[in-house]
Chains A and B, each alone.
Chain A
């Protein structure tokens, strides 16, 4: 196989235990021909008009293997609860099916005689009835639970649209980073006071954050595992979603659609700040952005007029 357009990470001993060493080794080798501005912990790059994450690593609290990622959103618990129910159903159905099978095999193994019929009307009706009731209970619960979440949260853009405190962010996904645009003081996108960040989302805790998402190259997937947010970034269209951070802290942004060689490094950070800290940051970053604004840098003016829901 001759796929190696680039050399391999140098396998050094103790790599698996030392994540960041390996991470950096890979970083040097990736064939990337655009400026790399990543949000690796401990790294700080400054680009005019763009703020970079500072050095504290994302909070990795509940790190239980068999649990969902920690939920840091206001509404995500509804999904988690529904998943909890779905697990109970799953366990029940698995126990029923496997238990039945084991008992049947154990009890009827090499039995002297076997029934000669393919079931009676009654037994067939019973099968259908059991299937139907399982279906109604399990699928019904999932459908109703899901529908509630869709109606109230996922597809209810009325919440961010009507809340005056809503923070709007335009995100431009590209190989291999997340560029985020904030409207700045004037509340309009694609103006000189827009704040643009790389792999560094900042949001105030507790208020709706409304995201509109595009991609300029290939399909990417914008996900916030700790906020139960997932949305494709697809060239040629603007997708939107919204969420609310429940508390302050730092979490990760992950790309979930295969988008090329360095897909696995399309990582960003999301910081939920207090509302005051957020406002202060935005004001300061906007001021710097105005100073650094370059009319001729058309590539930097990728923002768009906010789309109505």
Chain B
């Protein structure tokens, strides 16, 4: 695999390693925050080399940089790249029967732009005054040079622009690929739900990442060129601009971004729950439609992040109604997952455990968001760790577990080797439980009033009694960090000497498992498959009867049946009725 290869699978692997690296960095930064809340001002174990003056203790300015970089790294350099860069790049073309992405050069370029951003992020830790420190939201005027003068803030802002550019390129690439490059017979109604999730999320990327780019570019101009788009108050000279405009632009991107982070995971959960219940997904169209509805609404609810910004009552009411509305499609989708389990034959494989764990943490995350959607109940919770717990359950824990559901599921396809199931299960289960511990603790602390981003929450008398709770939460967080070692061991061991994966270890019918080798060669398929049915044709009586197994490839011809393809775009007879199934045993 050369670094210049344009193959989508190679690009995916590049994103995978970079994403995992940044996940480690982001995780370590999270542990530093947690340490500070449990043992404020005490030296963080192992950090003395980086902070010699304080012998490893976080100082207030370091602390602001740490939480800022944690958020930015996790969102832009770890989780999005893992979901889209790694899993999306790898799976999407295979799952729709394409030989590659629509624009292979663009996808390779996208990675390098992302990598450049990553380098800037790392470099920012080495410059004077450290990396960015104005929060991942980077609200001006704080994020302008009058208040955050360091070069690091500028570097990281450019890095975010890089990550955004790469997100835009793969978003565009995925949209075009799904629209134009599906194999014959792969109708929209036969797409795996994973592809639906990636597709909708990619549409959101294309629509809303440019908004972030605009806001960020204007902010950079305020920082570097002396413009005043977002500057007001004492720092404004003659006129000035309006910081609130930035907030609206930021969240117009920021809210869809949280759906960008979860839609691929939703899609995977939908597929995995069906695969490992050995039955078709319940209400496939309803689920895909629900994901589409959420995506459509996602740009219309963003100002619930600004309920306390002094918005006009008209706007406040509108966004409250729209926000609450979004819970309807989410509920439909969730109930469909549950219904898929029902009357199935549930197999608790590691990807299935991860999918179920994703459902649990996402469910709790969604439920705890309801109170934030109504203005009155948002008031006491806004800006507290309740919000932090809520969004970590959804886009932190759920996306994280979604990534691992996908990784455990597709790993044999990516590398041709089978991970150790036992270790994978231990990793998934312990992570899920500890996630609940960490983010449950944050919800509780937030409910009791603990505000976000406080270097020392115990400055406040009304928060002093939360110290023991925070210490327990921190213990959970460190254990969570520790159990990731199980994954690393499994990964390294498997790549070195894991046994060769079977052709179709999960016994499912999607194209990547039934029509391509593991790992797939250049061009993915020896012959482009002709798709005959949907992604979840499991436990079909006629298949059981004729083939003696409970699954059938999406492009596999059922012996004795002339043609099952009932849709109008049936393959011309000249192409022959034999589709290109690699026979799998």
Whether A235 contacts B380 in the complex (CB less than 8 A), given A86-B370, A113-B345, comes out as: no
Q: Does A254 contact B (CB under 8 A)?
A: yes
For the A-B complex with A3-B131, A232-B309 known, give 19 more contacts whose Cβ atoms are closer than 8 Å: A23-B459, A31-B61, A69-B449, A86-B377, A89-B370, A104-B342, A108-B342, A109-B346, A118-B283, A123-B282, A127-B282, A143-B321, A214-B233, A232-B310, A251-B462, A262-B60, A263-B453, A264-B454, A264-B456
Partner of B242, one of A112, A119, A143, A236: A236
Partner of B142, one of A89, A101, A127, A218: A218
Question: In the complex the two chains form, is A116's CB within 8 Å of B540's CB?
Answer: yes
* Cβ–Cβ < 8 Å partners of B465 in chain A: 60, 63-65
Q: Does A306 contact B (CB under 8 A)?
A: no
Q: Does A131 contact B (CB under 8 A)?
A: yes
Kindly provide the distance from the CB of A239 to the nearest chain B CB, expressed in whole angstroms: 4
Question: In the complex the two chains form, is A132's CB within 8 Å of B316's CB?
Answer: no
Complex CA gap A205/B562 in Å reads: 84
Question: In the complex the two chains form, is B456's CB within 8 Å of A22's CB?
Answer: yes
Partner of B451, one of A83, A134, A135, A254: A254
Q: Which of B236, B457, B539 has the most CB of A within 10 A?
A: B539
Complex CA gap A211/B226 in Å reads: 33
Instruction: Flag A91-118 by CB within 8 Å of B: 1 or 0 each.
Output: 0011001101100110011111111111
* Cβ–Cβ < 8 Å partners of A60 in chain B: 461-462, 464-465
Which of A5-13, A43-51, A179-187, A277-285 interfaces with chain B?
A: A5-13
Q: Which residue of A is nearest B539, CB measured?
A: A114
Q: Does B382 contact A (CB under 8 A)?
A: yes
Question: In the complex the two chains form, is B62's CB within 8 Å of A3's CB?
Answer: yes
Complex CA gap A64/B469 in Å reads: 11
Partner of B464, one of A9, A15, A19, A215: A19
* Cβ–Cβ < 8 Å partners of B40 in chain A: 15-16, 22
Kindly provide the distance from the CB of A232 to the nearest chain B CB, expressed in whole angstroms: 5
Q: Which residue of A is nearest B69, CB measured?
A: A1
Whether A119 contacts B244 in the complex (CB less than 8 A), given A23-B456, A98-B360, A128-B332, comes out as: no
Question: In the complex the two chains form, is B461's CB within 8 Å of A150's CB?
Answer: no
Q: Does A219 contact B (CB under 8 A)?
A: yes
Q: Does A138 contact B (CB under 8 A)?
A: yes
Question: In the complex the two chains form, is A127's CB within 8 Å of B283's CB?
Answer: yes
Which of B294-302, B361-369, B569-577 interfaces with chain A?
A: B361-369
Q: Does A256 contact B (CB under 8 A)?
A: yes
List 22 contacting pairs A-B, 8 Å CB cutoff, sorted by A: A3-B129, A8-B54, A11-B43, A19-B464, A63-B465, A79-B380, A82-B374, A90-B370, A114-B344, A114-B538, A116-B538, A123-B283, A128-B286, A146-B320, A150-B376, A155-B316, A216-B233, A217-B235, A225-B449, A232-B310, A236-B240, A260-B142
Complex CA gap A225/B379 in Å reads: 9
* Cβ–Cβ < 8 Å partners of A83 in chain B: 371, 377, 380
Partner of B338, one of A23, A57, A101: A101
* Cβ–Cβ < 8 Å partners of B133 in chain A: 3
Partner of A94, one of B51, B364, B449, B451: B364
Kindly provide the distance from the CB of B549 to the nearest chain A CB, expressed in whole angstroms: 13
Q: Does B64 contact A (CB under 8 A)?
A: yes
* Cβ–Cβ < 8 Å partners of B59 in chain A: 3-4, 6-9, 29
Q: Does A159 contact B (CB under 8 A)?
A: no
Q: Which residues of B contact A (CB under 8 A)?
A: 39-43, 50-51, 53-55, 57-62, 64-65, 125-131, 133-135, 139, 141-142, 147-148, 231-236, 240-244, 277-284, 286, 308-310, 313, 316-317, 320-321, 324-325, 327-328, 331-332, 334-336, 338-339, 341-348, 356, 359-360, 363-364, 367-368, 370-371, 373-377, 379-380, 382-384, 444-445, 447-449, 451-462, 464-469, 536, 538-541, 550
Question: In the complex the two chains form, is B42's CB within 8 Å of A15's CB?
Answer: yes
Partner of A145, one of B343, B376, B467: B376
Question: In the complex the two chains form, is A1's CB within 8 Å of B236's CB?
Answer: no
Question: In the complex the two chains form, is B462's CB within 8 Å of A252's CB?
Answer: yes
Partner of A114, one of B139, B278, B338, B384: B278
Complex CA gap A6/B54 in Å reads: 9
Q: Which residue of B is nearest A89, CB measured?
A: B370
Whether A25 contacts B41 in the complex (CB less than 8 A), given A104-B341, A150-B317, comes out as: yes
Q: Does A30 contact B (CB under 8 A)?
A: yes
Q: Does A37 contact B (CB under 8 A)?
A: no
Complex CA gap A223/B335 in Å reads: 38
Q: Which residue of B is nearest A16, CB measured?
A: B39
Q: Does A246 contact B (CB under 8 A)?
A: no
Q: Which residue of A is nearest B125, CB measured?
A: A1
Q: Which residue of A is nearest B543, CB measured?
A: A116
Complex CA gap A255/B9 in Å reads: 48
Question: In the complex the two chains form, is A127's CB within 8 Å of B339's CB?
Answer: yes
* Cβ–Cβ < 8 Å partners of A97 in chain B: 334, 338, 359, 363
Complex CA gap A8/B43 in Å reads: 10
Question: In the complex the two chains form, is B286's CB within 8 Å of A124's CB?
Answer: yes
Complex CA gap A117/B379 in Å reads: 46
* Cβ–Cβ < 8 Å partners of A128 in chain B: 286, 332
Question: In the complex the two chains form, is A118's CB within 8 Å of B61's CB?
Answer: no
Question: In the complex the two chains form, is B279's CB within 8 Å of A114's CB?
Answer: yes
Question: In the complex the two chains form, is A254's CB within 8 Å of B460's CB?
Answer: yes
Q: Which residue of B is nearest A17, CB measured?
A: B467
Q: Which residue of A is nearest B279, CB measured?
A: A114
Partner of B377, one of A82, A135, A255, A259: A82
Kindly provide the distance from the CB of A116 to the nearest chain B CB, expressed in whole angstroms: 5
Q: Which residue of A is nearest B453, CB measured?
A: A258
Kindly provide the distance from the CB of A107 to the nearest chain B CB, expressed in whole angstroms: 9
Q: Does A130 contact B (CB under 8 A)?
A: yes
Question: In the complex the two chains form, is B375's CB within 8 Å of A11's CB?
Answer: no
Question: In the complex the two chains form, is A7's CB within 8 Å of B383's CB?
Answer: no
Question: In the complex the two chains form, is A230's CB within 8 Å of B539's CB?
Answer: no
Question: In the complex the two chains form, is B233's CB within 8 Å of A236's CB?
Answer: yes
Q: Does A139 contact B (CB under 8 A)?
A: yes
* Cβ–Cβ < 8 Å partners of A228 in chain B: 379-380
Q: Does A244 contact B (CB under 8 A)?
A: no
Kindly provide the distance from the CB of B126 to the nearest chain A CB, expressed in whole angstroms: 7
* Cβ–Cβ < 8 Å partners of A131 in chain B: 328, 331-332, 335
